[in-house]
Amino acid sequence: MRGGAEPLCALGGGDGRLLVFAPGAPERAARLRLFEGPVLGLSWAARPGPSLGPAALLVSGPGGTALWMDVTCGPGQLPAVRLMGRYRLPPCKQRWHTCAAFLPQGGLLLCGDRRGSLLLFPCSGSEGTDRDTSGSEGTASQSEFSCLLNSEAVPLEDPLSVLFGLHGKTGVTSVTCHGDYIYSTGRDGCYRQLCLRDRQLEVLQKHRPCKGLQWIEELRFTPGGDLLVLGFHADNFVVWSTRSGVNLHCVPCGGGHRSWSYYSCPEADAFAYIKRGDVMLYHSEAEPCEQRVLLASLHGREIACVRHLGAVRVPGSHPVNIFITGSEDTTACVLTLSELTRAAVPLARLSDHISSVRALALADTALRDGTRLCSLLFSAGGRAQIECYCLQCAVDLGAEGMVSCQVAHVASHRLDEHWDRMKNRHKLVKMDPETRYMSLSVVCGTNSEQLPMPCTFLVAACSDGSVRLFVLLEAAQKLLLIAESFHHQRCVLKVEAFLHTRAEESAATDGSVVFWDITGTIAAATDALQHSEGEMQPLGGYSRGQGAVVPAALYAAVLTEPLLPALGTPLLTVMAHSCGVNSLHIQELPKGQFLVASGSD
């Protein structure tokens, strides 16, 4: 790390001592006694903007104490060390930091620790304690200072925000800032995108780059807009491109438990690492660009579903349409399709599903000023999993597809997790955790202004013969199962909800189309929301509105009652086909009539 005019190196010892020196002059070193016990964590913290000022060094010691020190070094001088802050890490077994970075918002320091947590600390840096060694020319004992006594002059700060165990028990490996977002990586095989709201950390999205990459070390943002994921896949070092979805480099180095460094430039890439005591170097020169014959695929396997989000107007160009696709490769992709070039450009890839994505649904889609689209996206598929996201797409002439997409994860639901929270499970037949959601439909006209919080109702067709009704409490980030019916007794392929009072229709593999009146079920859930105002508990979290509270009575009842209310008796059953219904659509006609169209084999 460069501190002023000279690059710097820092070493921490088992006796609590710190050694800081310039690699070109190791004999001129600043020696400090920081702790009674060993130095457990040592890292340089990146500052936003040009790195011309002092270098920031973070040191962790026994008892969860972390010290922030600014280090500068001029030519021919000893490094000057100044104690700027003292921080207290949350109690845990392995209580030391692993990485740190200063946020561009100013006055905030973000740390990752060995327990997998992200910690946000204040760092005004207005005062500090000097350990200036620039004028010392004596022996090592003469130039050694102790911070044990005078460090008490700097107050011990607690974190402003804690995301405990965000990356599991294996630790956070890096934190970085890019644009308006914060990114963290860990050895749980994921990297996360976060934002800062009211000095609180908020997770927007979790990304899993590729199968088998369980040890992610670092992220690199390229000038061309690509995001490179650096990590270890088994005993190989991997550089993964999120844009192309392929490995750019795969080096058999022996695994992640070693010291390594990676450097990339337009002309060549280099990877240095230690193996069996030897320093090894992998070097790869840039290959000339060849003509592309095949177009890049949007997904690695079959595309199972697609939805049209809308179109935005790009100044001086044709409208750009935005689509969402779901695939058997367990991902959903938000992409643009230009009417002029006919080119499909991926904007965002959603990778929270553990099985195939078979159904998509959109709610509350709004076009603002013709240049911004906002919507709630529901995705569902295998392993009885539903995910909900908030999409915000806006015209961005600097982006590749002329549109940028911000994704925030809102809520999720899995039947096996719902089952684990239910009481008296021994009295019931267990839900099949391998259930597949075949179709989704949002119930329109349920977002009443009289409700204490925004909610959206969702109907799902399930492979276990059930039609299930969910409610999304957006402000509380909860997706709850409130009713179900096994009337079909076979796989339900399609479901559509429409507003005639409030009704839905479902179609199964026997060719039947069934109509339900779900007004009473929705009214009961709405009534529970309205009458639980005195028992609300604030949860905070993501919300597109102002102020968020969740009714504790409804939440507790839905999760602990052993029997879910049924959807009731169907209003009408039509044997429309002799086998499975593969397509089902409905259109409202004048005079309150509806046209239903279904397709089958």
- Give the integer Cα–Cα distance in Å for 432 and 419: 10
Quote the pLDDT of residue 423.
62
pLDDT tens digits, residue range 549-583?
444 445 544 444 433 466 778 888 999 999 999 99
Range in 87-91, 368-372, 375-379 the model is least confident about: 368-372
pLDDT tens digits, residue range 451-502?
656 789 999 999 999 999 999 988 888 898 888 888 898 999 999 998 876 6
pLDDT tens digits, residue range 176-192?
999 889 999 999 999 99
Quote the pLDDT of residue 237.
95
| Tokens at 190, concatenated | 């994921």
Does the global pTM surpass 0.85? no
Nearest CA-CA partner of 347 in 500, 432, 242: 242
Q: Is 519 helix (H, G, I), strand (E, B) or coil?
A: helix
- pLDDT over threshold 60, residue 234: yes
Q: In one letter, which amino acid is 256?
A: G
Quote the pLDDT of residue 544.
43
Please, which residues bridge with residue 342 across strands? none
392 burial type by CB count under 10 A (0-12 exposed, 13-18 middle, 19+ buried) = middle
- pLDDT over threshold 80, residue 273: yes
Q: Is 599 helix (H, G, I), strand (E, B) or coil?
A: strand
Q: What is the dihedral of CA 339, 340, 346, 350, to 10 degrees?
A: -10
- Give the integer Cα–Cα distance in Å for 188 and 207: 11
548-556, long-range: CB within 8 Å, 24+ apart, which pairs?
548/453, 548/475, 548/476, 549/452, 549/453, 549/475, 549/476, 550/453, 550/473, 550/475, 550/476, 550/478, 551/452, 551/453, 553/528, 554/480, 554/525, 554/528, 554/529, 555/473, 555/476, 555/478, 555/480
Share of the chain above pLDDT 90, in %: 49
Q: Is 323 helix (H, G, I), strand (E, B) or coil?
A: strand
* DSSP string for 336-403: EEETTT--EEEEEEE---SS-EEEEEEEEEEEETTTEEEEEEEEEESTTEEEEEEEEEEE-TTSTTSE
DSSP H or E run through 461: strand 455-462
User: Taking the CA of residue 6 as centre, how many other CA atoms within 13 Å lie in the half-sphere pointing to its CB?
Assistant: 22
| Tokens at 436, concatenated | 């597949």
| DSSP 8-state symbol, 147 | -
Average pLDDT over residues 134-142: 41
Quote the pLDDT of residue 430.
65
More confident residue, 278 or 534: 278
Quote the pLDDT of residue 541.
36
- pLDDT over threshold 90, residue 217: yes
In the structure, what pLDDT confidence band is assigned to residue 393 with cuts at 50, 70 and 90?
very high
Hey, which bits of 286-318 come out as E strands? 303-312
Please, which residues bridge with residue 514 across strands? 506, 573
Quote the pLDDT of residue 75.
82
Domains of the chain: which residue ranges?
A: 2-208, 210-289, 305-411, 421-600
| DSSP 8-state symbol, 435 | -
In the structure, what pLDDT confidence band is assigned to residue 162 with cuts at 50, 70 and 90?
very high
pLDDT tens digits, residue range 301-357?
999 999 999 999 888 778 889 999 999 999 999 999 887 778 888 889 998 999 999
**CATH (residue range 2-208):** 2.130.10.10
Quote the pLDDT of residue 447.
61
